[in-house]
Chain A
Amino acid sequence: MIELSAIRKVFNSGRPNEFTAVDGVTLSIDSRKITVLKGPSGSGKTTLLGIIGCMARPTSGRIQLTGPLTQAVTFSVKGAAAEVTSLPERFLTEIRRRAFGFIFQQFNLIKGITVLENVMLPAYPMGEDFKLLRERASRILSDLNLSGKVFSKVEWLSGGEAQRVGIARALINDPAVIIADEPTAHLDTKLSGEFMGIVERLKNEGKTVIIASHDPIVFDAPIIDRIVEMRDGRLSGGPQQQ
């Protein structure tokens, strides 16, 4: 479980252009479920996702990883809840690598290198045997019907293929949590449906999936376990605690 306690994120604090992106969000996200952060642009979904995924630090508030997620925390007491917002940067890096896989709206694939190399990249710092890593990356790509594109440059891919490469890259370190930010923003209805099919498969494999989206194809999908609505940096439709 991921437990957020009074999370607040203020940009340009103390300046005339101060902006509160997330304002006192308290939330528990269950493991092995699909949670959607739903809300209009500027509601704080992406900022909150970044904070949950240890990509950014909150201005105030704490986040705890509990239960199976603590397996990714190798430096703490085994099985104990891990508070991540106070961690020094190098520990956050380790958590980002082991616990979270990111799927970005713009895919963020690196041009000029192949699909396989893009997928293997996040695993390089782990120092794993190259042959084993390559086999795992090929298997994940095969599972996502990308066997024929393994040695293609990423700039040759269609939008749907690029999205699936992004998913394969997110899965390469076998993270417990998949975080996706507006994953269907650049996909048509058919490809969006395919994406949701992949998400269902990830859930069945025991992954926790957190998606930020304002696409009805995502939040109306029957596989979604929970929808958290956001507006103006707060949880809408009720108290700030969910």
Chain B
Amino acid sequence: MILHPSIIALFLSSVLISVLLLYSSYYGILILRKWDIKSGSELQLDLERRTYLISTILTYVFGFQLISLFLFVYTADILHPLFVGAMCASGTLTVNSYGYPTLILKAFNFIIAGLWLVLNHTDNRAYDYPLIKSKYKFLIVIAPLVVAETFLQTKYFLGLKPDVITSCCSTLFTSESTSVASDLASVPSIPGKIAFYTVMALTLASGAYFYLKGRGGYVFSALCGISFIMAIISIISFFSLYYYELPSLHCPFNILHKEYSYAGYPLYMCIFGGAVAGMGTGVLMPFRKATSLMEIIPVIQKKLIVIALVCFLIFTVMVTYRMLSTPFKLEGY
């Protein structure tokens, strides 16, 4: 293990997050088994008070969970000079077999932690805990995933050996190999762009419709999920090329570097933020008819729609501007 400050910060915070999540899950199970709002028993009143504590703990825990994805990528990126052959985070993550699984699980946990925060925020706005059981059921699904992430991340950090010769993005994200990354890199440019702009246009249109009419929430939510996936594929397959101005470099991490003005950070924040906000509207859809949430959910959903649309719009404008402003032309590749 390399004792770098970022690694120590990520390691300690992940352990802390896991411990607090297990503590919260214990009370989550107790709430699922014993919660009875009609009862005035000592246990019920204790659980009601305890839920404020758990809710506050989890807000901070998941808040850091969101930040830790970017810290992990940043850490992988700044460590690349330590490994022979690594030129960016892509190479650092290939040093051992736990790097990419950790990243993928972190990205997945980012989304579900964000969705839990949406659910929790909504529940806290109501007077009668209408989502209490739903949010704790969800928590019990999330907790093992976060613990697994801590395990994978720890294995990854423990397996970081500075003398390892690794391969980097130029061999991973190339259309000439047979991995998932190379499949993404070999998506043809023009059909890919048509698909990207079509999905974004549909998402923006469905968001506007949902905002104005209050209908089509599930469609908008699903489209936000598709936009997220489409945005990731598009970065790897063609948008990254406009940043690097090289027809064969499909790396999703180099755009985090200073020479590309750290453009990757706002791009990834936008697509992850848009995904959480957009899918968050869908998570709230089944609860719109709850008496105490009837007036609350539409207000929250409208805010989430605006956040999702702004995020995806900023992403689209940024990549389109780069594509149009650079002298590099991709057609033919």
A58 to B48, CA, bound (A): 12
Q: How far is the CA of A58 from the CA of B44 in the complex (A)?
A: 11
Beyond A57-B45, A77-B291, whether A88 also contacts B40 by CB under 8 A is no
- Find chain B residues with CB under 8 A from A60 CB: 40-42, 44-45
Q: Is B40's CB under 8 angstroms from A5's CB?
A: yes
- Whether B127 pairs with A88 at a CB distance below 8 angstroms is yes
Closest 6 CB pairs of A and B: A62-B40, A60-B42, A61-B40, A91-B127, A75-B127, A86-B48
A129 in contact (CB, < 8 A): no
- Kindly list chain B residues whose C-beta atoms are within 8 Å of the C-beta of A85: 40, 45
CB distance from B289 to the nearest CB of A (A): 14
- With a cutoff of 8 Å between Cβ atoms, the chain B residues found around residue A89 in the complex are 52
Is A59 positioned at the interface, with any CB of B under 8 Å from its CB? yes
Sample (19) of A-B pairs whose CB atoms are under 8 Å apart? A6-B40, A8-B42, A59-B42, A60-B40, A60-B41, A60-B42, A60-B44, A60-B45, A61-B40, A62-B40, A75-B127, A76-B127, A86-B37, A86-B48, A86-B128, A87-B127, A88-B124, A89-B52, A91-B127
Residues of A contacting B124 with CB < 8 Å?
88
Q: How far is the CA of A86 from the CA of B49 in the complex (A)?
A: 9
Nearest-neighbor residue (CB-CB) of A86 within chain B = B48
What's the tally of chain A residues with a CB closer than 8 Å to chain B? 18
New A-B contacts (13) at CB < 8 Å, excluding given A57-B49, A76-B127, A85-B40: A8-B42, A58-B40, A58-B45, A59-B42, A60-B45, A61-B40, A75-B127, A76-B292, A86-B37, A86-B129, A87-B127, A88-B52, A91-B127
CB distance from A4 to the nearest CB of B (A): 10
Q: Which residue from chain A places its CB closest to the CB of B51 in the assembled complex?
A: A88
Q: How far is the CA of A127 from the CA of B37 in the complex (A)?
A: 33
Asked whether B45 lies within 8 Å of A59 as measured between CB atoms, the reply is: yes
Q: Give chain B residues whose Cβ lies under 8 Å from the Cβ of A87.
A: 127
Set of chain A residues within 8 Å of B45, measured between Cβ atoms? 57-60, 85-86
Cα–Cα, bound, A74→B129 (Å):
17
User: In the complex, A61 Cα to B42 Cα: how many Å?
Assistant: 8
What B residues does A59 contact at CB under 8 A?
42, 45
**Bound-complex Cα distance A5 to B37 (A):** 14
Binary B-proximity of A36-66 (CB < 8 A = 1, otherwise 0): 0000000000000000000001111110000
Chain A residue nearest to B39 in the complex (CB): A62
Residues on B with beta carbons closer than 8 Å to the beta carbon of A6: 40
A77: which B residues are within 8 A, CB to CB?
291
Interface residues in B131-155 by Cβ distance below 8 A to A read: none
- In the bound assembly, the distance between CA atoms of A89 and B49 in angstroms comes to 10
Which residue of A has the minimal Cβ distance to B295? Answer: A75
In angstroms, Cα B124 to Cα A87, docked, is 11
With the chains together, A5 CA to B291 CA distance in Å? 25
| Closest Cβ–Cβ distance, residue A140 to chain B (whole Å) | 30
**Residues of the A chain whose Cβ atoms lie less than 8 Å from the Cβ of B49:** 57
